[in-house]
Structure 1
Amino acid sequence: MVDIRRVTPDFAVAPQITEEDVEAIAAAGFKTLIANRPDGEGGVDQPRMGAIRVKAEALGLTFAALPFSGAPTPEIVERMNHILNEAPQPVLAYCRTGTRSVTAWALGHAGQGAADDIIEAAAGAGYDLSSLRDLL
């Protein structure tokens, strides 16, 4: 079963999902999936984005591929923000552990004077982003 971690009412993250998880994600009310994990990063056994996309779209979900490794670049943060602003809500983003996805979301809110709120929301989902305080 997929480990969905709510960050806000409209945004959640999860570790790697499978094609089989997509039905539960749709049943949980999510409207959009964002894939932040590159295909093949976890070897040949890692579920592929293509199969997840096909299942998601067959169930009426919007699917966005925004794979990246390591810390999100400013371009990734900008693209993540664009997807989040345009996509049907609520959104579930996934990567290997969820950390990349929640970090890209958090950095998208940088400079808005809400560092403590962002860190607290991430902590509530099980992610410690306190090291990003100066960037937020």
Structure 2
Amino acid sequence: MLVFAFQISRSGKSTYLQQVCLVVILAQIGCYVPARFATIRVVDRIFTRMGTMDNLESNSSTFMTEMRETAFIMQNVTNRSLIVMDELGRATSSSDGLAMAWSCCEYLLSLKAYTVFATHMDSLAELAT
């Protein structure tokens, strides 16, 4: 399952993604979930790719850090994982970012991994059809 959050900047996408992770964790440990009704599947892992900047300690650019994090997720994800990605491909050109985001989404769809993906790239909506 792939859920897209398409919204303008500063509209709360990142906050929403953080809340998704927190609610899943709360549900899995048997705590109260702030909802009238919720159906939340059990996940084996939660992967996040959010808010990357240059990493001076490892001498990595924003793009390199983003790619390392994404590669780790793609190598370790299962069909029972929750993947939360915020603006994948923002550290490169629009066309390269779209190509990366598209290929990651296709792969995650093929695994049937539960994925929440926030983006400005309206072209990704074509994956839903």
Per the normalisation by structure 2, the TM-score is 0.32
RCO (CA 8 Å, sep 6+): is it higher in 1 or 2? 2
Which of these two proteins has the greater Rg computed from alpha carbons?
Answer: 2
Per the normalisation by structure 1, the TM-score is 0.30
